[in-house]
């Protein structure tokens, strides 16, 4: 199952500030979340969340937030590979908890499946040629 992990910024207009959106994201959309920042003022509220879940649940959760009338900014975070730098050394294969890398038994080439990546960052630390890149 492809896992999506994204940071989003939510702005609540004053009349929506007491909506239990966090509760619904967890209960109705099976999303794990981490509240990174939450403030409330007389104008409304602002929250920064890290959401994690399947692509389908993530998309449904975002749709729910949009329909509720919240103002959403997606602060995307993803890991990509600079193919030109990769030397197929295989160092990333053993550290990846999501099995995002597969070694071809014949050619020894290391394929990267971005869909499996859970953005843990381990391959970035272990890659000697700095092929793996984190983007926000
Ligand atoms: S960041 Fe790297 S090590 Fe972590 S899940 Fe993604 S591909 Fe695997
Ligand atoms: S550790 Fe880096 S250079 Fe080695 S196979 Fe993985 S991405 Fe390629």
Is there an atom of ligand 2 within 6 Å of 89 CB?
Answer: yes
- pTM of the predicted model as reported, rounded to 2 decimal places: 0.56
pLDDT at 124: 93
- CATH of range 3-75; options 3.10.180.10, 3.30.70.260, 3.30.360.10, 3.40.50.720: 3.30.70.260
| Closest to 62 (Cα-Cα) out of 121, 107, 6 | 6
Beta-carbon contacts of 53 under 8 Å, excluding residues fewer than 6 positions away, are: 3, 4, 29, 30, 31, 32, 61
Fold of 78-135: Alpha-Beta Plaits (3.30.70)
Per residue in 73-108, pLDDT tens?
776 667 899 999 999 999 999 999 989 999 999 999
Distance 38 CA to ligand 2 centre (A): 38
**Looking at ligand 1, which residue's alpha carbon is closest to its atom 2?**
123
Domains 3-75 and 78-135 fall in the same CATH topology: yes
Per residue in 5-63, pLDDT tens?
677 888 888 888 777 888 899 999 999 988 888 887 777 888 888 888 888 898 899 88
């Amino acid at each position: 199952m492809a896992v999506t992990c994204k940071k989003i910024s939510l702005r609540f207009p004053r009349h929506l500030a007491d909506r239990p959106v966090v509760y619904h994201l967890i209960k109705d959309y099976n999303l794990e979340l981490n509240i990174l920042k939450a403030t409330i003022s007389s104008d409304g509220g602002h929250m920064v969340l890290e959401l994690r879940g399947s692509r389908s649940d993530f998309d449904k959760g975002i749709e729910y937030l949009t329909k509720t009338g919240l103002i959403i900014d997606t602060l995307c975070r993803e890991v990509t590979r600079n193919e030109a730098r990769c030397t197929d050394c295989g160092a990333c294969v053993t550290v990846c908890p999501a099995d995002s890398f597969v070694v071809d038994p014949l050619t020894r080439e290391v394929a990267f499946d971005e869909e499996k990546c859970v953005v843990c960052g381990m391959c970035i630390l272990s890659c000697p040629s700095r092929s793996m890149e984190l983007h926000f």
